[in-house]
Copies of this chain bind each other. A is one copy, B any other.
């Protein structure tokens, strides 16, 4: 499946970026410098639903930022099981790798617009601009924390995993208590290391406990956040 591409790359040399950057106000939050660079130097690509953005073992040339839509990264194990590495929503950056090749694949969950920036370009910028280097570092640090959180999740019970997932998604949702899920039950199951049946049953159970409401299968409303937090271990 080939993505419908719509490239608007700004052809600016690194030095020009650095100068332009210098005229902007000092960084007020982490990632600002990287954001500047991506917007100035990145190319926007439009992908249809369920399109592959990159595959396991392809060279990791780019860094990606979600503009709209949602993305999943995943890995297929030798026995056919699939482990989902993470879900990325608008504003999130993915594709951070340290090997020369991607260890995960990435696919869109929905139609999506993705901003791409060459890693080589960013590395070159980081060599001259310490703000960008710092942002890159912070980015990786946050990714590390995210993965460590998830490690803790994976030793918990099925119910705790589902609850953690709901709270995590709620924290990133606009309202904070009504979640619109861009992914299927199978995706959630592969993210949590459970089966779809267990996820489904757990949600039903949470609903009958009055902790959540599930008006449609892709929308979940948190009713009793205190109860959920208690279940979260």
Binding site for B on A (CB under 8 A): 75, 77-79, 81, 83, 85, 96, 98-99, 103, 127, 130, 133, 136-138, 140-145, 147-148, 150-152, 154-155, 193, 233
Indicate if the CB atoms of B83 and A145 lie closer than 8 Å: no
Indicate if the CB atoms of A155 and B103 lie closer than 8 Å: no
Indicate if the CB atoms of B233 and A77 lie closer than 8 Å: yes
Task: Please name all residues of chain B whose beta carbon is closer than 8 Å to the beta carbon of A83 when the two chains form the complex.
Answer: 151-152, 155
Report A173 CB to chain B, min CB distance, Å: 24
Question: How many identical chains are in the complex?
Answer: 2
Report A196 CB to chain B, min CB distance, Å: 14
Ranked 7 nearest A-B pairs via Cβ: A98-B141, A155-B193, A154-B154, A147-B147, A144-B144, A140-B140, A79-B233
Report A59 CB to chain B, min CB distance, Å: 16
Task: Please name all residues of chain B whose beta carbon is closer than 8 Å to the beta carbon of A147 when the two chains form the complex.
Answer: 144, 147-148, 151
Given the known inter-chain contacts A98-B138, A99-B145, please indicate yes or no for A151 contacting B150, CB distance below 8 A.
yes
Indicate if the CB atoms of B127 and A130 lie closer than 8 Å: yes
Task: Please name all residues of chain B whose beta carbon is closer than 8 Å to the beta carbon of A96 when the two chains form the complex.
Answer: 144
Given contacts A136-B137, A155-B193, 17 further A-B contacts (CB under 8 A): A77-B152, A77-B233, A81-B233, A83-B155, A99-B145, A103-B145, A127-B130, A137-B137, A137-B140, A140-B140, A140-B144, A143-B144, A147-B147, A147-B151, A154-B154, A154-B155, A154-B193
Contacts A/B (CB < 8 Å), 27 sampled: A75-B152, A77-B152, A77-B233, A78-B233, A79-B233, A81-B155, A81-B233, A83-B151, A85-B148, A85-B151, A96-B144, A98-B138, A98-B141, A98-B145, A99-B145, A103-B145, A103-B148, A127-B130, A136-B137, A137-B137, A140-B141, A140-B144, A143-B144, A144-B147, A147-B147, A150-B151, A154-B193
Task: Please name all residues of chain B whose beta carbon is closer than 8 Å to the beta carbon of A141 when the two chains form the complex.
Answer: 98, 140
Which single residue of chain B is at the shortest CB-CB distance from A104? Answer: B148
Which single residue of chain B is at the shortest CB-CB distance from A140? Answer: B140
